[in-house]
Copies of this chain bind each other. A is one copy, B any other.
C-alpha cells in the first residue's frame, strides 16, 4: 500500500512555519507498516491543490491531507476536492449540529463562517473532531482513499489516531479490501531508537561500523541535539522475527557503547531521570544561572514530576545567589559568579534549602555577549551535590546561546542519571576523548 501526505497552507510554502504534520502522519502510518512514498505541500490555491489531488490519485492508495478545513476564506479543501472529483457539496446536518453544540458549550453563538465547515463532497464519510470545530472527511475515488484532516496539530493527531488509523487497519485486513493491493507475503517493518548522549556522530559511526555492516538489521545515525540517536530497523515476514533481529543488533550495540545509551524511542533524558528518581525514592532540586530555568522546565514537563522534583532557584543576579542559595559573598568576590567554587556552593545550597537528595547547579556564559579573555563565551561550570559529596567540572561549549543552554542542561540531567546508576560523572568531551573521535559539540578546556 502506497501512502502520500499532502499538507496545505500558504504559511508552509512561505516557510513561516516548520511543518511537523508530515512527520507526525508518516510516523503513524508506519505503525501499520504503511510506507509514505510522497510528501507534498501546496499553497491555499485552487489550481495547485487540484494538481496535487490528481497527482496523488494516480500514484497512491492512501492520501492523507492536512489543512484547509477551517472557517476562513482560505480554507477550501472540501470545495476543491469536490470540484476535482466532479462532485457536489452536501450539508452534513450532524456536523452542523456538533459545531453549534461546540459553540454552545463554550457559551457562544456559531457564526455563519463556521457553517461551511459542515459542507463535504458527495459520498464523503465525515470524521468527527471532538476537540475543534473542523470535522474531517474521507473520500474514495478510483481505488484511492483521501483522508482530509485539520491542520491544527492537536486536532490532526487525535483525528488520525481515533478515526483514520482504525479505518486504515480495517481496510488492510478486510477480505477484498486494500489487502489485494499488497504483495502476497506481507513484509513487517520494525524499528527501535537507541538514544545516546556524550559521543559524536562520527565516533559512534566508526565504533559501530562492523555492526552496521552486519546486514541482519539496518543501522542509521541521526542527531537530535544534544543527543545522537541510533535507529535499528529490520524487515521480516513476522513482527516477532523483525523484533528478534532488532534485539540481536541492539544487544551488540549496548555491549559496545555501554552507559552512553540512556534510553529508547521517544523517551528523553528528563523522562528517564524521572523514572530512576521514582524507582529509588530520591528527590531533586536545581540551581540555575546560565540555563535560566531550562533544567526545571524540562524536568517538570514530565507528568508526575512533583513526586521527585522539589523545585529550583533561577539565580541570575549575584544577590540571588547569596540570598536564596547561601553562596558566600567572598566566594563570589574572589572567583566570580562563573567559577567552580560558586557552582559547587550553588549545588550544595539548593540541595540543603529544598531538602533534596540531589542538587544540580549551572553557571556559565551562554553568550552571545558577556565573555572576557579569561572567561570566554561558552565557558560553563556544572555541579552536582549529594549528601556525601559534590562533583563539579568545567566545560567550554562553543555554541550559540540556545544550544549552549541545552547542552549544559543535558550534562546536568545526565549527571543525575549517572549518580543514580553509580556511573562515573563524565561530560560529553571526556566520552569523546576516551572514544578517540573528533569533537562535535564542545571542547573541554
Indicate if the CB atoms of B41 and A39 lie closer than 8 Å.
yes
Complex contact B303–A292 (CB within 8 A):
no
Contact flags A63-85 to B (C-beta < 8 A → 1, else 0): 00000001111100000000000
List of B residues within 8 angstroms of A224 by Cβ: 17
Residues from chain B with Cβ under 8 Å of A438 in the complex = 103, 106-108, 111
Taking CB atoms and an 8 Å cut-off, the chain A residues in 5-31 that contact chain B are 10-20, 22-30
The tally of residues in A whose CB lies under 8 Å from a CB in B reads 105
Q: Nearest Cβ in chain B — how far from A387, in angstroms?
A: 18
Within 8 A of B (CB), among A335-375: 353-355, 367-370
Residue contact A297 to B303, C-beta cutoff 8 Å:
no
Inter-chain contact B311/A402, CB cutoff 8 Å: no
| Secondary structure of the A contact surface, majority rule | mixed
**Chain B nearest Cβ from A42, distance in angstroms:** 6
Bound state CA distance, A79 and B198, in angstroms?
31
Q: In the complex, are the beta carbons of B316 and A313 less than 8 A apart?
A: no
Q: Mark A45-66, 1 if CB is under 8 A from B, else 0.
A: 1001000000100000000000
Using A15-B27, A353-B323 as known contacts, say yes or no to A304 and B113 having CB atoms under 8 A apart.
Answer: no
Q: Which residues of B contact A311 (CB under 8 A)?
A: 313-317, 320, 324
Q: How far is the CB of A71 from chain B (nearest CB, A)?
A: 6
CB distance from A21 to the nearest CB of B (A): 9
A317 with B313: in contact, given A14-B36, A23-B17, A42-B38 (CB under 8 Å)?
no
Instruction: Tell me which of A163-171, A215-223, A255-263, A420-428 binds B.
Output: A215-223
Interface residues of A in 293-326 (CB under 8 A from B): 293-297, 299-301, 303-306, 309-317, 319-320, 323-324
Contact at A316–B306, with CB atoms within 8 Å? yes
Nearest-neighbor residue (CB-CB) of A28 within chain B: B15
CA distance A232 to B323 in the complex (A): 48
* Contact partners of A20 in chain B: CB under 8 A: 18
Q: Is A154 an interface residue (CB 8 A)?
A: yes
Which of chain B's residues have a CB closer than 8 A to the CB of A26? 13-15
Question: At the interface, yes or no: A114 with Cβ under 8 Å from chain B?
Answer: yes
User: How many whole Å from A130's CB to the nearest CB in chain B?
Assistant: 12
Query: Of B43, B221, B292, B304, which one neighbours A297 at CB under 8 angstroms?
Result: B292
A129 to B314: give the CA distance in the assembly, Å: 36
Asked if A238 CB lies within 8 Å of chain B CBs, one says: no
CB of B38 within 8 A of CB of A108, answer: no
- Whether A88 is near chain B, meaning CB under 8 Å from some CB there, is no
Which residue of the partner chain B has the closest CB to A30? Answer: B14
Interface-centre pick from A24, A36, A355 (highest chain B CB count, 10 A): A36
Q: Which of B29, B40, B291 contacts A39 (CB 8 A)?
A: B40
Q: A400 near B: Cβ within 8 Å?
A: yes
The answer to whether B320 touches A293, judged by C-beta atoms less than 8 angstroms apart, is no
In the complex, the chain B residue whose C-beta lies closest to that of A400 is B154
Could you jot down 19 A-B contacts, CB within 8 Å?
A: A11-B220, A13-B35, A13-B37, A15-B27, A15-B29, A17-B222, A18-B23, A19-B19, A38-B41, A40-B40, A72-B201, A103-B438, A106-B438, A292-B300, A294-B297, A300-B314, A304-B369, A319-B355, A324-B324
- Given known contacts A296-B314, A310-B319, what 12 new A-B pairs fall within 8 Å (CB)? A15-B28, A19-B22, A38-B42, A72-B205, A113-B202, A292-B297, A292-B299, A301-B401, A301-B402, A303-B401, A311-B317, A312-B314
